[in-house]
Amino acid sequence: MTKTNSKTTKYQYQEYADIDTGYQALRWHEPVIYELSRKGSRNEIIPNAEKEIQVKVGDITKKIPKKICRKTPAALPELSEPEVMRHYLRLSQETFGYDSGVNIGLGTCTMKYSPKLNDQLAKLPSIAYLHPLQPEETFQGLLEIMYDLRTWLCELSGMDEFSFLPRGGGHSVYTNACIMRAYHRANGNLHKNEVITCAVSHPCNAGCPSTAGFKVIELHPNKNTGDIGLDQLEAVVSDRTAGLFLTAPYDTGVFDSQLGEYAKLIHSYGGLVALDQANFNGVMTRMRAGDIGADLMHFNLHKTFSTPHGSAGPGAGAIGVKKELREYLPAPLLEFDGSQYHLNYNLPKTIGKTGVFYGVIINVLKAYAWIMSMGEQGLREASEWAVINNNYLIKKMLEVRGVDIAWPNRRKLQEARFHLQKMKEETGIGSAEVNLRIADFGIQTFFESHEPVIIPEPVTPEASEAASKEDLDRFVEAFHQISKEAYSNPEIIRTAPHHCTIHQTNLEPLLDSKRTKVTWRAYQKRGLS
């Protein structure tokens, strides 16, 4: 096996790498940690039991029945502490964090600044050293924070109760689907087994109800308006309808103009409306799910409410329900009797749990700290800036050759769906190719689209309030440059990236399950064949 990531010989596309993009990522050629291993290296992190205990109990491990003893030592690498530190520090440097780059490409992810104070607070011993099963009187301080956040989110959403149990957006929708299931069963409506959603709602709006056992019916946005249209919904709603799972606003930045009518229609058939408000950032303080007919909804604390994305989690979901559904929420509920906060487990109709304990508490704290920092005025301002930044971006992006926008006749809120169909047609360069190149400019790769891709060659950036005008201009400038390359020398793009930590990935072993390896040991056995 060749030593991996070794310094390479002359780069075959050096002439493209010589084009100045104003950015060059760090390139440590860092080997896989196993290759750094030195046999016998040890770190004394955890001590042996105290002498007295050792003497008293002897080698208890000898009493483990043979048949359940580990037979072969695990082949973990052996390194000294400074080597481990250096290795992972280098890997962190080879990662495009929100803080380090222009990070407005990831639409629907609402990448925004995570205040450092909040990260520090979440590490304080007064929260880090709490056990979830301590008597509630010993963590009244945390319960107060949770209860206040619950109350604020009720206010922002127009809902009556919240739970922080879910770990993310998808987990929230799943938990809401479980609540919907429990509600219809409790009312004897076993025939209500169909959930309606639409193609421009997040995939979890279809996938989660399906995982909970519902049949899922997917509608499509009107080609002209971007809305579903009441006529389409009327064509499928029936007594079997358990509920509607819809994202508002959509990932297209469009707010469905008939959402209120949909809710009324679904309710008239005894169904429930579950709103996915992962895209809440642009409508904060401007609309409330509870006011427009939602029975269930969720926020992503790691999107709108600033908690860091953690390289892909932990995030945090907050599910809100109307009072009729309160008793179905996961136990315990937070309650306040005027002097003390309580965890109420007495919920006979609860769905039980979809995860352990009370949710991602550290992110509950960070979201709370963020809202406190903003105040209502700040929230309103943030939302407005998410919308202004996006509309500024739209105007500027449409000046780029080969860039168009879906549903041009609609106003766009927090984000917009651009597309490169013309560029693709004229140059062969589409959104996937441009995405190979954009990181060469110090700009994070952009989100294309969720499945199903109904707008071909999609580009979906989202400039939250934390983007500066200069960031937006830099993003657009990079697009101009890439467009020029597409129309003059598309090979630069096809062979990109040239300024990133590594070069273009060979996708073949990743897409063929017979060749896929996800551990070093599997790779050592068979390579990529």
Partner 1 sequence: MKNSLVHRFIPNSAPGVREEMLKVTGYKTVDEIYEEIPEALRFKGELKLPKEPVSEMEVDRRIKRSLSKNRTTQEMLSFLGAGCWFHYVPALCGEITGRSEFLTAYAGGDWADHGRYQAMFEYQSMMGDLLDMDVVSAPVYDGTTAAGDALHIASRATGGTEILIPSTISPNTLATIRNYADPWLDLKMIDHDPKTGLMDLDDLKRKLSSKTTAVFVENPSYLGFIEDQCEEIAGIAHRVGALLIASINPISLGLLAAPGEYGADIACGEGQPMGMTQSCGGATMGILAVNDSDRFLTLLPSYLVGISNTIVPGELAFSWHTLWDRMLYSTRAHARSFTGTSSWLWGISAAVYMALLGFEGIKQLGKTNMQNTQYAIDILSKIPGIKTPLFSSVHFNEFVINFDGTGKTVAVINKALFEKSILGGKDLTNDFPDLGQSALYCVTEMLRKEDIDRLADVLRTII
Partner 2 sequence: MNPGERKKKLGLIVNPLAGIGGRVGLKGSDGIETVKKAFAMGAEIISPQRAMETLQDIYPFKDEFDLFTYPKGMGEDEAKACGFSPIVLGEIVPDQTSAEDTKSAARKMVDLEIDLILFVGGDGTARDIYEAIGDKATVLGIPSGVKIHSSVYAVNPHRASELIKMFLKGSAPVREMEVMDIDEDLFRKGQVSARLYGYLQVPHEKGLIQSAKSASLGAGNNRTIAEAVVDGMNDDYYILGPGTTVKAIGDELKIEKTLLGVDVIYRKQLIGKDLNEQQLLGLIEGKNAKIVVTIIGGQGYIFGRGNQQISPRVIRKVGKQNLIVIATKNKLLSLKGPLLVDTGDSECDNYLSGYIRVITGYNEESVWKIEC
Task: Give the one entry of partner 1, partner 2, none that residue 220 binds, where binding means its C-beta sits below a cut-off of 5 to 8 angstroms depending on kind.
Answer: partner 2
Q: Name residues whose C-beta falls within 8 Å of residue 201's C-beta, 6 or more positions apart in sequence.
A: 245, 246, 247, 250, 276
Would you give the binding string for partner 2 spanning residues 411-430, x where CB under 8 A is met?
-----------------x-x
The beta strands (E) that lie in 130-231 are given as 161-163, 194-198, 215-219
**Cβ atoms < 10 Å from Cβ of 385:** 17
Residue from the set 350, 431, 481, 501 that interacts with partner 2 by CB under 8 A: 431
**Cβ atoms < 10 Å from Cβ of 320:** 30
- The smaller minimum CB distance to partner 1, of residues 310 and 428, is found at 310
**Cβ atoms < 10 Å from Cβ of 388:** 14
Of 439, 377, 365, 415, the closest CA to residue 254 belongs to 415
- The smaller minimum CB distance to partner 2, of residues 24 and 210, is found at 210
Would you give the binding string for partner 2 spanning residues 95-124, x where CB under 8 A is met?
-------------x----------------
Window 314 to 333, contacts with partner 2 (CB under 8 A): none
Residue from the set 22, 186, 191, 213 that interacts with partner 1 by CB under 8 A: 213
DSSP state of 279: T
- The smaller minimum CB distance to partner 1, of residues 54 and 426, is found at 54
By CB under 8 A, tell whether 517 contacts partner 1.
yes
Residue from the set 24, 210, 258, 285 that interacts with partner 2 by CB under 8 A: 210
| Token pair recorded at residue 43 | 């770190």
By CB under 8 A, tell whether 511 contacts partner 2.
yes
What is the β-pairing status of strands 215-219 and 194-198? Answer: parallel
Window 142 to 201, contacts with partner 1 (CB under 8 A): 142, 144-145, 152, 155-156, 158, 167-171, 173-174, 178, 181
Beta-sheet strand order (sheet of 404-405): 404-405, 418-419, 458-459
Q: What are phi and psi of 317, to 5 degrees?
A: -105, 150
Least CB distance to partner 1 at residue 36 (A): 9
Distance spanning both ends of the chain, measured CA to CA? 13
Task: Give the one entry of partner 2, partner 1, none that residue 453 binds, where binding means its C-beta sits below a cut-off of 5 to 8 angstroms depending on kind.
Answer: partner 2
Residue from the set 221, 243, 271, 314 that interacts with partner 1 by CB under 8 A: 314
- The smaller minimum CB distance to partner 1, of residues 236 and 522, is found at 522
- The smaller minimum CB distance to partner 2, of residues 291 and 426, is found at 426
Q: What are phi and psi of 119, to 5 degrees?
A: -65, -40
Cα angle: 58, vertex 62, 66; to 5 degrees: 170
By CB under 8 A, tell whether 223 contacts partner 1.
no
Distance from the Cα of residue 347 to its chain's centroid: 30
Q: What are phi and psi of 58, to 5 degrees?
A: 70, -165
Window 153 to 192, contacts with partner 2 (CB under 8 A): 170
Would you give the binding string for partner 1 spanning residues 18-57, x where CB under 8 A is met?
-------x----x-xxx------xxx-xxxxxx-xxx-xx
Q: What are phi and psi of 288, to 5 degrees?
A: -130, 125
Site size for partner 2, by CB under 8 A? 43
Whether the bond into 332 is cis, omega within 30 of 0:
yes
By CB under 8 A, tell whether 215 contacts partner 2.
yes
Residue from the set 85, 91, 432, 522 that interacts with partner 2 by CB under 8 A: 432
Task: Give the one entry of partner 1, partner 2, none that residue 396 binds, where binding means its C-beta sits below a cut-off of 5 to 8 angstroms depending on kind.
Answer: partner 1
- Report which secondary-structure segment, H or E, holds 485: helix 469-488
**CA–CA gap between residue 476 and residue 470 (Å, rounded):** 10
DSSP state of 165: -
Residue from the set 230, 343, 347, 388 that interacts with partner 1 by CB under 8 A: 388
By CB under 8 A, tell whether 242 contacts partner 1.
no
Residue from the set 52, 323, 508, 513 that interacts with partner 2 by CB under 8 A: 508
By CB under 8 A, tell whether 379 contacts partner 1.
yes
Cα angle: 466, vertex 472, 473; to 5 degrees: 145
